[in-house]
Chains A and B, each alone.
Chain A
């Protein structure tokens, strides 16, 4: 891939990859998608943005060869709905995430597969938003909508800080 956003000649692969995971029409399951959709324009030139809306093993293809990845997904860990948690790999035990997925396999399983197969980013950050409702239907619950706004700020801040710290050509 050629031409990183706003940096002619820089390969895309150098840029952090932000992936929203989720399913539209499954209540709060879409919160990861909403976060990356809200950030797509703002982060142009700083990160690549992708969505994973079906089979979660697609993550292995999406992050192939990418060093820095940020994934945003719904989680269920017993915290209050809308709570935003940030986990960093390496450095965190995955079972903390819980398997919330309505996408067949769960995010922890995709991460486990990636590790087993050697298809895993050097640095993975996961923003999890505690879900309340995963039933069929449009729209987020109120608490999770608040969590989405908070996650948007946190993710943007992290990526913009990384961009400032990044060595220039």
Chain B
């Protein structure tokens, strides 16, 4: 019996670092271990004793790629704890801010991290030499998203304008309408992105995912809604921990999420699209149809197309919001002056999937406990399952080719290892 071990010490083109170990005995995959280190654990401890008002600014520092997600989940969780309702234009402005992050993050992943896999390049630098126009499209989209975040968030990275109850300052009509030309361009670039992505060659495989995402009655869910799955889950956000659990695995610093009694599940664009495609705006729905996407996409490689559809959705929605915008009378809803010790939880849809926050605060407003479950932690077990199936299908490949294939399979899910991991190292053992 031949034993093979594949090590990936550093997986390129993921946001951060981690490691992968695959152990094969003959034609049997004995073990797949995705090892990640988890900064949210550090922040959970760091938050204890801090004012509840500080949570959005502190948690935004967890990740330079998706700070808005951390701000949104922390704000909603605190507002849930305090019984606050943020409605009207303030709610809409939060959605607009999130659109900026979706555009920026998806554009980065599609053009600079994922496209090289499909076009046969080792990295974006070499892709850019032969396909400069494609990379320029990606950078232009990123810039449009960044500019939206700068206007609403105060700055593009680690926005500072978000607070419990709303914003420190809301934009003027002029500030938002000034973004319109760039967002109109982003909408067209987004459609071009879907056409570009749909024209790539995809391995002909499908995975039997349990998709989990937020779903809202009236909109493509971002900040609000119920947690639903294609296997019957339908719960309020506050019951997330009743249905999903985090499990410690010895080889990783990150906790792995599982659907209790079921197993792995997938969050992110494929899940959102599968569970919310009927809520897409007209141009996003139209381009998805033009690209030949079914209502449910189970081929993980096609996530690049779905991310493109979500760019169109975010740009289209941004334009609608800007056109209807009337500045609210107050930039934020005032939190209650006094309150009892309380707990609140919330989920928002980060570009990579659901981001769960729960906080327990005391009567002085100090955080006593924080729990953060990042999307990449939730997908970690599911990525291992994808890898196991990939390796089983690909036993004839030599170690180098198999390693490349594993890295590529990981990138399908755009793991934000800045949030969830440290160095990604691949270790493939064949015995």
Does residue B291 face the partner (Cβ distance < 8 Å to A)?
Answer: no
- The interface residues of chain B lying within 8 Å CB-to-CB of A24 are 61
- The interface residues of chain A lying within 8 Å CB-to-CB of B64 are 23, 53-55, 103-104
Question: Interface-forming stretch among B138-146, B178-186, B332-340, B369-377?
Answer: B138-146
* Known contacts A53-B157, A137-B42, A25 near B128 by CB under 8 Å: no
- The interface residues of chain B lying within 8 Å CB-to-CB of A25 are 39, 42, 61
Does residue A88 face the partner (Cβ distance < 8 Å to B)?
Answer: no
Does residue B65 face the partner (Cβ distance < 8 Å to A)?
Answer: yes
- The interface residues of chain A lying within 8 Å CB-to-CB of B157 are 52-55, 58
How far, in angstroms, from A113 to B136 measured CA to CA in the complex? 10
- The interface residues of chain A lying within 8 Å CB-to-CB of B17 are 102
Contact code string A94-111 (vs B, CB < 8 Å = 1, else 0): 000000001111000100
* Known contacts A55-B65, A58-B157, A104 near B146 by CB under 8 Å: no
Top-10 shortest CB links A-B? A54-B64, A112-B125, A54-B157, A116-B128, A136-B42, A116-B129, A136-B39, A104-B15, A53-B157, A113-B128
Give chain B interface residues in 1-28, CB to chain A under 8 Å.
Answer: 15-17
How far, in angstroms, from A58 to B139 measured CA to CA in the complex? 9
Give chain B interface residues in 132-157, CB to chain A under 8 Å.
Answer: 132, 135-136, 139, 142-143, 146, 156-157
* Known contacts A102-B418, A117-B128, A54 near B158 by CB under 8 Å: yes
Check A109 against B61 for contact (C-beta < 8 Å). no
Number of B positions contacting A (CB below 8 A): 31
Nearest CB of chain B from residue A115's CB, rounded to whole Å:
8
- The interface residues of chain B lying within 8 Å CB-to-CB of A61 are 139, 143, 146
- The interface residues of chain A lying within 8 Å CB-to-CB of B128 are 112-113, 116-117
How far, in angstroms, from A25 to B129 measured CA to CA in the complex? 35
Check B124 against A53 for contact (C-beta < 8 Å). no
Nearest CB of chain A from residue B301's CB, rounded to whole Å:
21
Check A58 against B146 for contact (C-beta < 8 Å). yes
How far, in angstroms, from A57 to B15 measured CA to CA in the complex? 13
- The interface residues of chain A lying within 8 Å CB-to-CB of B429 are none
- The interface residues of chain A lying within 8 Å CB-to-CB of B146 are 58, 61
Does residue B422 face the partner (Cβ distance < 8 Å to A)?
Answer: yes
Give chain B interface residues in 57-87, CB to chain A under 8 Å.
Answer: 61, 64-65, 67
Does residue B213 face the partner (Cβ distance < 8 Å to A)?
Answer: no
Does residue A60 face the partner (Cβ distance < 8 Å to B)?
Answer: yes
Give chain B interface residues in 333-378, CB to chain A under 8 Å.
Answer: none
Known: A53-B64, A118-B132. 7 other contacts (CB 8 A): A53-B157, A54-B65, A58-B146, A105-B124, A112-B123, A116-B129, A137-B42
* Chain A interface main SS type: loop
Chain A CB within 10 A, most for which of B61, B125, B143: B125
How far, in angstroms, from A117 to B136 measured CA to CA in the complex? 8
* Known contacts A25-B61, A112-B125, A113-B125, A57 near B132 by CB under 8 Å: no
Q: Which of A103, A109, A135, A136 contacts B125 (CB 8 A)?
A: A109
Does residue B409 face the partner (Cβ distance < 8 Å to A)?
Answer: no
* Chain B interface main SS type: helix
- The interface residues of chain B lying within 8 Å CB-to-CB of A52 are 157
- The interface residues of chain B lying within 8 Å CB-to-CB of A116 are 125, 128-129, 132, 135
Contact code string B245-288 (vs A, CB < 8 Å = 1, else 0): 00000000000000000000000000000000000000000000
Check B139 against A104 for contact (C-beta < 8 Å). no
Total CB contacts across the A-B interface at under 8 A: 73
Give chain B interface residues in 383-405, CB to chain A under 8 Å.
Answer: none
- The interface residues of chain A lying within 8 Å CB-to-CB of B42 are 25, 136-137
Nearest CB of chain B from residue A97's CB, rounded to whole Å:
14
Contact code string A6-38 (vs B, CB < 8 Å = 1, else 0): 000000000000000001110000000000000
How far, in angstroms, from A109 to B123 measured CA to CA in the complex? 9
Check A54 against B156 for contact (C-beta < 8 Å). yes
Check A104 against B418 for contact (C-beta < 8 Å). yes
- The interface residues of chain B lying within 8 Å CB-to-CB of A53 are 64, 157-158
How far, in angstroms, from A137 to B17 measured CA to CA in the complex? 16
Contact code string B111-124 (vs A, CB < 8 Å = 1, else 0): 01100000000011
Give chain B interface residues in 144-174, CB to chain A under 8 Å.
Answer: 146, 156-158
30 contacts between A and B (CB under 8 A): A24-B61, A25-B61, A53-B157, A54-B64, A54-B65, A54-B67, A54-B157, A55-B64, A57-B112, A57-B139, A58-B146, A58-B156, A61-B139, A61-B146, A102-B17, A103-B64, A104-B65, A104-B113, A104-B418, A109-B123, A109-B124, A113-B112, A116-B125, A116-B128, A117-B135, A117-B136, A135-B422, A136-B37, A136-B42, A137-B42
Nearest CB of chain A from residue B38's CB, rounded to whole Å:
9
* Known contacts A57-B108, A136-B42, A113 near B158 by CB under 8 Å: no
Nearest CB of chain A from residue B42's CB, rounded to whole Å:
4
Nearest CB of chain B from residue A107's CB, rounded to whole Å:
12
- The interface residues of chain B lying within 8 Å CB-to-CB of A58 are 146, 156-157
Contact code string B39-67 (vs A, CB < 8 Å = 1, else 0): 10010000000000000000001001101
How far, in angstroms, from A98 to B143 measured CA to CA in the complex? 27
Check A113 against B124 for contact (C-beta < 8 Å). yes
Give chain A interface residues in 61-108, CB to chain B under 8 Å.
Answer: 61, 102-105
Nearest CB of chain B from residue A6's CB, rounded to whole Å:
24
- The interface residues of chain A lying within 8 Å CB-to-CB of B135 are 113, 116-117
- The interface residues of chain A lying within 8 Å CB-to-CB of B124 are 105, 109, 113
